Structure 1
Protein backbone atom coordinates (compact mmCIF):
# COMPACT_ATOMS: atom_id res chain seq x y z
CA UNK A 1 0.00 0.00 0.00
CA UNK A 2 1.12 3.53 -0.70
CA UNK A 3 1.02 6.36 1.81
CA UNK A 4 0.80 10.06 1.05
CA UNK A 5 3.97 11.94 1.88
CA UNK A 6 4.99 15.57 1.63
CA UNK A 7 3.05 17.90 -0.64
CA UNK A 8 5.07 18.85 -3.75
CA UNK A 9 2.95 21.87 -4.65
CA UNK A 10 5.69 24.39 -3.83
CA UNK A 11 8.11 22.57 -6.14
CA UNK A 12 5.55 22.35 -8.95
CA UNK A 13 4.73 26.05 -8.67
CA UNK A 14 8.42 26.97 -8.77
CA UNK A 15 9.04 24.73 -11.80
CA UNK A 16 6.17 26.40 -13.65
CA UNK A 17 6.99 29.91 -12.44
CA UNK A 18 3.50 30.32 -10.95
CA UNK A 19 2.82 32.21 -7.73
CA UNK A 20 0.50 30.88 -5.04
CA UNK A 21 -1.83 33.85 -5.45
CA UNK A 22 -2.14 33.22 -9.19
CA UNK A 23 -3.01 29.55 -8.72
CA UNK A 24 -5.49 30.47 -6.00
CA UNK A 25 -7.18 33.06 -8.24
CA UNK A 26 -7.36 30.62 -11.15
CA UNK A 27 -9.10 28.05 -8.94
CA UNK A 28 -11.25 30.49 -6.93
CA UNK A 29 -9.45 29.47 -3.75
CA UNK A 30 -7.75 31.58 -1.11
CA UNK A 31 -3.99 32.00 -1.17
CA UNK A 32 -4.07 30.83 2.45
CA UNK A 33 -5.61 27.50 1.41
CA UNK A 34 -2.83 26.94 -1.14
CA UNK A 35 -0.27 27.94 1.50
CA UNK A 36 -1.83 25.49 3.99
CA UNK A 37 -1.19 22.60 1.57
CA UNK A 38 2.38 23.75 0.94
CA UNK A 39 3.21 24.24 4.62
CA UNK A 40 1.53 21.02 5.75
CA UNK A 41 -1.10 22.73 7.91
CA UNK A 42 -3.64 20.84 5.83
CA UNK A 43 -2.31 17.31 5.41
CA UNK A 44 -4.06 16.30 2.20
CA UNK A 45 -6.42 17.90 -0.26
CA UNK A 46 -9.73 16.50 -1.39
CA UNK A 47 -9.79 14.51 -4.61
CA UNK A 48 -11.73 17.32 -6.30
CA UNK A 49 -9.18 19.94 -5.22
CA UNK A 50 -6.26 17.73 -6.22
CA UNK A 51 -7.79 17.14 -9.66
CA UNK A 52 -8.37 20.86 -10.18
CA UNK A 53 -4.87 21.81 -9.05
CA UNK A 54 -3.31 19.08 -11.18
CA UNK A 55 -5.28 20.31 -14.20
CA UNK A 56 -4.24 23.92 -13.57
CA UNK A 57 -0.58 22.84 -13.30
CA UNK A 58 -0.80 20.40 -16.24
CA UNK A 59 0.34 17.44 -14.16
CA UNK A 60 -1.04 14.20 -12.75
CA UNK A 61 -2.61 14.06 -9.30
CA UNK A 62 0.14 11.66 -8.25
CA UNK A 63 2.72 14.42 -8.81
CA UNK A 64 1.17 16.63 -6.11
CA UNK A 65 2.59 14.50 -3.28
CA UNK A 66 5.57 12.34 -2.51
CA UNK A 67 4.51 8.70 -2.13
CA UNK A 68 6.02 6.01 0.05
CA UNK A 69 5.41 2.31 -0.03
CA UNK A 70 4.13 1.14 3.34
CA UNK A 71 6.01 -1.74 4.91
CA UNK A 72 2.85 -3.00 6.57
CA UNK A 73 1.13 -5.78 4.70
CA UNK A 74 -2.56 -6.11 5.31
Structure 2
Protein backbone atom coordinates (compact mmCIF):
# COMPACT_ATOMS: atom_id res chain seq x y z
CA UNK A 1 0.00 0.00 0.00
CA UNK A 2 1.43 3.37 -0.99
CA UNK A 3 1.79 6.29 1.37
CA UNK A 4 -1.13 8.07 -0.31
CA UNK A 5 -3.39 5.02 0.07
CA UNK A 6 -2.42 4.68 3.72
CA UNK A 7 -3.08 8.36 4.37
CA UNK A 8 -6.56 8.30 2.83
CA UNK A 9 -7.63 4.71 3.59
CA UNK A 10 -9.75 5.55 6.62
CA UNK A 11 -10.94 8.98 5.46
CA UNK A 12 -14.50 9.35 4.23
CA UNK A 13 -14.05 13.00 3.31
CA UNK A 14 -11.14 14.24 1.25
CA UNK A 15 -9.56 17.63 0.85
CA UNK A 16 -8.91 18.88 -2.67
CA UNK A 17 -5.24 18.05 -2.22
CA UNK A 18 -6.00 14.46 -1.13
CA UNK A 19 -8.33 13.97 -4.10
CA UNK A 20 -5.64 15.33 -6.43
CA UNK A 21 -3.10 12.85 -5.07
CA UNK A 22 -5.47 9.89 -5.36
CA UNK A 23 -6.66 10.68 -8.89
CA UNK A 24 -3.48 12.28 -10.30
CA UNK A 25 -5.57 15.20 -11.51
CA UNK A 26 -5.18 18.93 -10.96
CA UNK A 27 -7.20 21.04 -8.54
CA UNK A 28 -9.41 22.58 -11.22
CA UNK A 29 -10.39 19.21 -12.71
CA UNK A 30 -11.02 17.68 -9.27
CA UNK A 31 -13.30 20.59 -8.33
CA UNK A 32 -15.14 20.28 -11.64
CA UNK A 33 -15.68 16.53 -11.24
CA UNK A 34 -16.68 16.89 -7.59
CA UNK A 35 -19.28 19.51 -8.49
CA UNK A 36 -20.57 17.41 -11.41
CA UNK A 37 -20.88 14.34 -9.21
CA UNK A 38 -22.57 16.32 -6.41
CA UNK A 39 -20.15 14.94 -3.82
CA UNK A 40 -19.06 18.30 -2.39
CA UNK A 41 -19.55 19.32 1.21
CA UNK A 42 -18.72 22.87 2.23
CA UNK A 43 -18.11 23.26 5.93
CA UNK A 44 -17.51 26.95 6.48
CA UNK A 45 -14.68 27.79 4.10
CA UNK A 46 -13.57 24.16 4.03
CA UNK A 47 -14.23 22.20 0.82
CA UNK A 48 -14.56 18.41 1.29
CA UNK A 49 -15.34 15.62 -1.15
CA UNK A 50 -17.16 12.37 -0.31
CA UNK A 51 -14.46 9.86 -1.21
CA UNK A 52 -16.48 6.74 -2.11
CA UNK A 53 -19.12 8.59 -4.15
CA UNK A 54 -16.49 10.67 -5.95
CA UNK A 55 -14.37 7.67 -6.97
CA UNK A 56 -17.49 5.73 -8.03
CA UNK A 57 -18.56 8.65 -10.21
CA UNK A 58 -15.15 8.80 -11.91
CA UNK A 59 -15.13 5.03 -12.50
CA UNK A 60 -18.65 5.02 -13.96
CA UNK A 61 -18.21 8.12 -16.08
CA UNK A 62 -14.75 7.42 -17.44
CA UNK A 63 -14.57 3.62 -17.51
CA UNK A 64 -13.22 1.99 -20.64
CA UNK A 65 -15.37 -0.89 -21.84
Give the structure-1-normalised TM-score: 0.31
Give the structure-2-normalised TM-score: 0.34
Q: Which one has the largest radius of gyration?
A: 1
